């Protein structure tokens, strides 16, 4: 959420930042609401002073036997009381309207984020690894003989409908091994605190990370009001909601492996084959809570954590910095990692790592006490996939496929598979 004081002080800069996202100016609407709210608050305070003064004079009029003045003052007290109640209610309604408006406005991009309209304007920053040259036409993951017995879309459709999958046998075991490898790497080498969080959350948690109110249709809500998390970003970030932390405890770095749920609203017709885009999937999420001054350095560190997963799995990838027109709602700057999928002959997103500044912290009321003393300040928050487990499974299968229908698995996973090195053409681990 945005600081109304900053908008008051420099509305032109606020609108200029929105323009970088392709949005029309909003400061006139915001400041009109704010001015109306403040006018009513001031009027209520003036009426309160009038009431207090009249209340004091009532006693004096009665003591003096001035009945007419007593009656006038008593009526004035009642009138001011009603006026205060009305103005307070109106100011509260305007305050709520202003908050609701601010909650729908995306974060402002950092100067480091490149300008652009859409994904065509994103910039490639680096590449790692070289796509493998195959002596045959590579298949997509769901077409591989080694996979077909263990990746069942028909049964999933019978159980749940489209965009679900049932994994079994060697494919399920490989999926589990990938998640465990990611957690071990992040916890043991990258210093993230492994965390288990709920997958059902209240409205407040979704509002805190920016998933509500604007993107309700992208998530699932239960009949008793809980939301299924679209990512553990929601739960990990909200660990500090409403808290005032000591700066000495920062940064706080978390990771969690959870199921994630997305309605995929607006994605009709996209990636309908295979398990690239699912309503239910698993992800290892990373979240950092730090001071605003440390956020950009943390952004680079977190991006490297995600890249290391891909490098250990020997998967070619590229790093992209998103332009202002393609960034997520809560982001100030975002790196996307795209992994090479030979079956599609292209790179596809497998991780998105964003720094959000104090945008989420302001929504969550998450602050820290500076080491040097002074007023508590809002923390900075960052989040990123480390990685999406299902998409990582796809990449391992497609990059490791062989002409005989088997899949050669990355060496780093062998210990997690009890020494097994291949997924045979019949789906068995060997």
What's the pLDDT at 67?
Answer: 84
What's the pLDDT at 60?
Answer: 86
DSSP assigned state of 280: E
What's the pLDDT at 266?
Answer: 67
Q: Tokens in use for 390?
A: 């299902």
What is the secondary structure of 163-200 as a DSSP string?
S--EE-HHHHHHHHHHHHHHHHIIIIIS--EE----SE
Phi/psi at 404 (5° precision): -85, 5
Confidence of residue 267 (pLDDT cuts 50, 70, 90): low
Give the mean pLDDT of 219-248: 98
pLDDT tens per residue, range 69-95: 888 988 998 999 999 999 999 999 999
CA distance 52 to 175: 70
- The SS3 assignment for 66 reads coil
Helix (H) or strand (E) holding 422: strand 422-423
Residue count of the chain, please give it: 430
Vertex 302: Cα angle to 299 and 307 (nearest 5): 120
Give the mean pLDDT of 233-245: 98
Rg (CA), the chain: 28
Give the mean pLDDT of 139-167: 97
CA distance 51 to 276: 66
CB 179 within 8 A of CB 196: no
Confidence of residue 391 (pLDDT cuts 50, 70, 90): very high
Q: What strands lie across the sheet with 244-246, from one edge to the other?
A: 244-246, 367-369, 377-378
Q: Tokens in use for 219?
A: 């998530």
Please say if the pLDDT value at position 265 is more than 80. no
CB atoms within 10 A of CB 67: 10
DSSP assigned state of 223: T
Which structural domains are found in the chain, ordered by start? 4-103 (1.10.287.40), 119-423 (3.30.930.10)
* Region class of 169: left (phi > 0), else alpha (psi between -120 and 50), else beta: left
CB 247 within 8 A of CB 371: yes
Give the mean pLDDT of 96-107: 97
Active site positions, annotated: 262, 277, 349, 352, 391
Please say if the pLDDT value at position 30 is more than 90. yes
- The SS3 assignment for 267 reads coil
Tell me whether strands 346-355 and 280-290 are parallel, antiparallel or unpaired.
Answer: unpaired
- The SS3 assignment for 269 reads coil
pLDDT tens per residue, range 207-226: 999 999 999 999 999 999 99
Burial class (CB in 10 A: 0-12, 13-18, 19+), 132: middle
CB 381 within 8 A of CB 238: no
Please say if the pLDDT value at position 156 is more than 90. yes
What's the pLDDT at 269?
Answer: 67
Mean of all residue pLDDT scores within the chain: 96
Cis peptide before 251 (omega within 30 of 0): yes
pLDDT tens per residue, range 355-384: 999 999 999 999 999 998 999 999 999 999
What is the secondary structure of 334-371 as a DSSP string?
EEEEEEEETTTTEEEEEEEEEE-TTHHHHHHT-EEE-T
């Amino acid at each position: 959420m945005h600081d109304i004081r900053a908008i008051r002080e420099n509305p032109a800069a606020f609108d200029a930042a929105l323009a970088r996202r392709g949005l029309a100016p909003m400061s006139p609407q915001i400041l009109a609401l704010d001015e109306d709210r403040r006018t009513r608050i001031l009027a209520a305070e003036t009426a309160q002073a009038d009431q207090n003064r009249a209340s004091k004079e009532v006693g004096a009029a009665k003591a003096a036997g001035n009945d007419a003045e007593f009656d006038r003052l008593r009526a004035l007290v009642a009138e001011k009381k009603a006026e205060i109640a009305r103005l307070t209610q109106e100011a509260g309604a305007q305050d709520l309207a202003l908050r609701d408006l601010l909650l729908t406005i995306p974060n402002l991009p950092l100067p480091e984020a490149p300008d652009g309209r859409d994904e065509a304007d994103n910039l490639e920053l680096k590449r790692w690894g070289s796509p493998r040259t195959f002596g045959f036409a590579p298949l997509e993951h769901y077409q591989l003989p080694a996979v077909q017995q263990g990746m069942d879309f028909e049964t999933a459709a019978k159980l749940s409908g489209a965009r679900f999958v049932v994994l079994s046998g060697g494919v399920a075991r490989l999926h589990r091994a990938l998640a465990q490898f990611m957690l071990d790497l992040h916890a043991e080498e990258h210093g993230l605190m492994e965390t288990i969080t709920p997958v059902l959350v209240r409205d407040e948690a979704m509002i805190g990370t920016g998933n509500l109110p604007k993107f309700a249709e992208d998530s699932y809500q239960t009949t008793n009001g809980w939301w299924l998390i679209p990512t553990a970003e929601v739960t990990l970030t909200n660990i500090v909601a409403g808290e005032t932390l000591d700066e000495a405890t920062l940064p706080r770095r978390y990771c969690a492996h959870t199921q994630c749920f997305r309605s995929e609203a607006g994605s009709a017709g996209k990636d309908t084959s295979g398990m690239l885009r699912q309503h239910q999937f698993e992800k290892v999420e990373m979240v950092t809570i730090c001071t605003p001054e440390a956020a950009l350095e943390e952004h680079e560190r977190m991006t490297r954590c995600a890249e290391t997963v891909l490098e250990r799995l020997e998967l070619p990838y590229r790093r992209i910095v998103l332009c202002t027109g393609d960034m997520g709602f809560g982001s100030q700057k975002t790196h996307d990692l795209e992994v090479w999928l030979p079956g599609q002959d292209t790179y596809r997103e497998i991780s998105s790592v964003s720094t959000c500044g104090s945008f989420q912290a302001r929504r969550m009321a998450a602050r820290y006490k500076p080491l040097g003393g002074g007023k508590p300040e809002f923390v900075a928050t960052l989040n990123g996939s480390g990685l999406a487990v299902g998409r990582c499974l796809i990449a391992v299968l497609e990059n490791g496929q062989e002409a005989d229908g088997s899949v050669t698995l990355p060496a780093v996973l062998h210990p997690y598979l009890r020494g097994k090195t291949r997924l045979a053409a019949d789906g068995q681990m060997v």
